[in-house]
Amino acid sequence: MAGSPYSDGLCSGFRALRRGLLLGGALAVALVFLAGPAAAQDPCAPPAGDTGFAEVSVNLNAGTFNQVLPFDVPVRVCGTVPAGTTSVAVRYVVSRKADISIDDRCNVTAPPGARLQPERAISGRLDGTTFRVILPPLEAQRYYAFCFLRRAKVSDDVAAKFKSVAGDVLDKGLAAVTSADMTAAQSLKLRTDLYNRLAAAASADDLALTGGTVFDLTSGYDELLGTGKFHGQVLKVLNAQHGADRIVAGDPRQGVKALGELQLDLKEALKAVQASDALKRLVDQLEKNAQTDSTLQEMLASRNFKAALALVRADDEQLSMIAQGREPGEPVADLTDPSQVTAMASHYDDTSSALSGLAALIRKVVESPPASSLRAGLSDGDVAALRALIDPSGPLAKAENLAFTLSGLAQNLQTEIAERSTALNAMAEVMRVEATGVEGVDGSTTGSFATTQSNYVSADAGILFAPGLSESASYIGMNFYTRPVNKDADLRQFGDFRRRFAFTLGLTVQSLADGGNGTTQTRQDLFGSQSLVLGAGLRVTSSFRLSAGAVVFKKKDSDPLVSKYGLGASYYFSISFDLNVARAFQGGLGNLFK
């Protein structure tokens, strides 16, 4: 081979390469010194050595990556975020064409059918204002749009405002639940519904729910049940609203009357009391006697008797108000307002006491001797009628019982409303939000011709054996893949056929020519002292390849009288190293084997 044009060319090539390497090395040293301080300040400067990831930097403000994105290997993206950021996560959309469009809230508007993935955003690791997030291996020759989702602390005012919003959301969400009878599936549905309502309310103000402070829909842990953190509060809310519903609306299945029905019963009982002529005569007589009897006057002026006398003389509208637990000038009580319900209970208490006092007075009258001044002006029939009035089954006892019952129900209703409100506030108090920000960044694993050609081509060097020629020879050549191949990708993970298979084109390093030493020459090399190697093979490991094909040479005509050489070929088997061409030219031939 010495002195051949080919070997001369190879030597001059190596000399050029050596010069290039020396020049490149000098430049690299200069650059390190010049860029040293800046690199030390760059939190996203790639670490020295192989980290097992493809290191990529992102500029969220500019919306760009610092390079074409590598494919088939895990990518570690590094970037910086404003101070106060509490978390960073990323989702992305992928397309074969550069036709992706996402809006400022990270909603995918194009291409049709495209959606963000993965389902759950990939969380990054935050260190001060620097974050790193590991992306799964990306697909080759694709366009990507990444949504970096940032969260940051909110001010106390914003947090307080959200608690109020959360309270309202929970109020409305739980009000729709008509029964606390729940299976696990119904509990999950309720949690999901509440979570979605809360998330929507937060999102409307560019806020997001802070994980761990609301219902966790992914853990399989049910906060509404057992020892769950919302168990007690949710059940309190459901119990209280169910209790309030039963008081206000009654429970026809159990014969429990609605509050309004009991109020009507009270009005009817009061009317029945009022209808007693004997009572009217008693009251008239007592008031008449009181004008001359200061003791009686004092008794009738007491609070209970005054109220009792007012009851006896009330008109229909006044009776309605008394039955509804309100006083003249007061509107009908709002049964969701605890203060109004409390006032209602107080009025029923007054009514109950007044009726009690009236019953006590009547009892005193009917039990006093016939000659007593208390019975002055009353006939025996009046006394009998008064006895009937205070009989346990009489209208006065009925009215008294109803007023007592309504007072209790109003107090219970107030308790239910207050407990429900307290439980809602307690839940809202636990919930936290963070401010959200979305940054869109475009990326691609489809580079220019210069950056992608190395994904299809690799260098090949090995030894072939041609059984038909009984010859072996080393060869160098190129492998041509039918798809982009990242030699850094783990073949165990990305080892499908097209990532292993390649066509091979090469030249033997040694001559396959025969003859000499007195033997007859039957073949010559195709080019000078090299023969052509054409074949195909499969990578067994990242670099080790088994191939087969044909070695092409010049073959002497089989007619001994003809001295012409024609094309000849013989099959071969080879083992070779699939080498990284790009690295070879970037960092010296030693990198061929990396």
Partner 1 sequence: MAIQIRSRLTASPNPTSLPRRIDFRQTLRSNQNGEQVVLEYQMDPAHDVWFVDGDGELVKTIQRSVQVSRADQPVLTRIPLQRGPGTGPMVSVQIDQTITDSAGIKIPDSCVLGIAVN
**Could you tell me the smallest distance in angstroms from the CB atom of residue 166 to partner 1?**
22
| DSSP at 590 | G
What angle separates helix 395-430 from helix 338-367, to the nearest 10 degrees?
A: 160
Binding region for partner 1 (CB under 8 A) out of 6-14, 399-407, 484-492, 574-582? 399-407
Within its chain, how far is the Cα of 293 from the centroid? Answer: 81
Alpha helices in 250-293 (DSSP H): 259-274, 277-290
Longest dimension (CA), the chain: 170
Total binding residues toward partner 1, as defined by CB under 8 A: 43
- Kindly tell me which of 407 and 547 has the beta carbon lying closer to partner 1: 407
**Could you tell me the smallest distance in angstroms from the CB atom of residue 391 to partner 1?**
11
| DSSP at 251 | B
> Cα–Cα distance between 359 and 354 in angstroms, integer?
9
- 401 Rama class: left (phi>0) / alpha (psi -120 to 50) / beta: alpha
Binding region for partner 1 (CB under 8 A) out of 247-255, 280-288, 451-459, 574-582? 247-255
Binders of partner 1 in range 343-362 (CB under 8 A): 352, 356
Tokens of 178: 């008509």
> Cα–Cα distance between 38 and 53 in angstroms, integer?
23
- Kindly tell me which of 46 and 243 has the beta carbon lying closer to partner 1: 243
Nearest one of 533, 431, 17, 503 to 208, comparing CA atoms: 431
From 183, 218, 219, 558, residue interacting with partner 1 (rule: CB under 8 A): 183
Beta bridge partners of 130: 80, 127
**Could you tell me the smallest distance in angstroms from the CB atom of residue 240 to partner 1?**
9
- Kindly tell me which of 113 and 392 has the beta carbon lying closer to partner 1: 392
Residue 267 in contact with partner 1, rule: CB under 8 A: no
Binding region for partner 1 (CB under 8 A) out of 52-60, 147-155, 238-246, 568-576? 238-246
Question: Over the range 235-265, which residues count as b (16 or more CB within 10 Å of their CB) and which as e?
Answer: ebbbebbbbbebbbebeeeeeeeebeebbbb
Binding region for partner 1 (CB under 8 A) out of 244-252, 294-302, 487-495, 514-522? 244-252
Residue 238 in contact with partner 1, rule: CB under 8 A: yes
Complete DSSP assignment for 3-58: T-HHHHHHHHHHHHHHHHHHHHHHHHHHHHHHHHHHHHH-TTPPPSS--SSEEEEE
**Could you tell me the smallest distance in angstroms from the CB atom of residue 262 to partner 1?**
8
Binding string to partner 1 for residues 305 to 344, with x set by CB under 8 A, is what?
Answer: ----------------------------------------
Binding region for partner 1 (CB under 8 A) out of 11-19, 149-157, 397-405, 466-474? 397-405
> Cα–Cα distance between 44 and 37 in angstroms, integer?
14
Residue 409 in contact with partner 1, rule: CB under 8 A: yes
| Cα four-point dihedral sign 288, 293, 298, 302 | negative
Residue 251 in contact with partner 1, rule: CB under 8 A: yes
From 159, 235, 299, 430, residue interacting with partner 1 (rule: CB under 8 A): 235
Residue 255 in contact with partner 1, rule: CB under 8 A: yes
**Could you tell me the smallest distance in angstroms from the CB atom of residue 210 to partner 1?**
26
Tokens of 562: 């003809």
Residue 260 in contact with partner 1, rule: CB under 8 A: no
Residue 187 in contact with partner 1, rule: CB under 8 A: yes
Return the SS3 of 376.
Answer: coil
From 180, 376, 536, 567, residue interacting with partner 1 (rule: CB under 8 A): 180
Binding site for partner 1 (CB under 8 A): 179-184, 187, 222, 224-227, 231, 235, 238-239, 242-243, 246-247, 250-251, 254-257, 262, 352, 356, 392, 397-398, 400-402, 404-405, 407-409, 411-412, 415
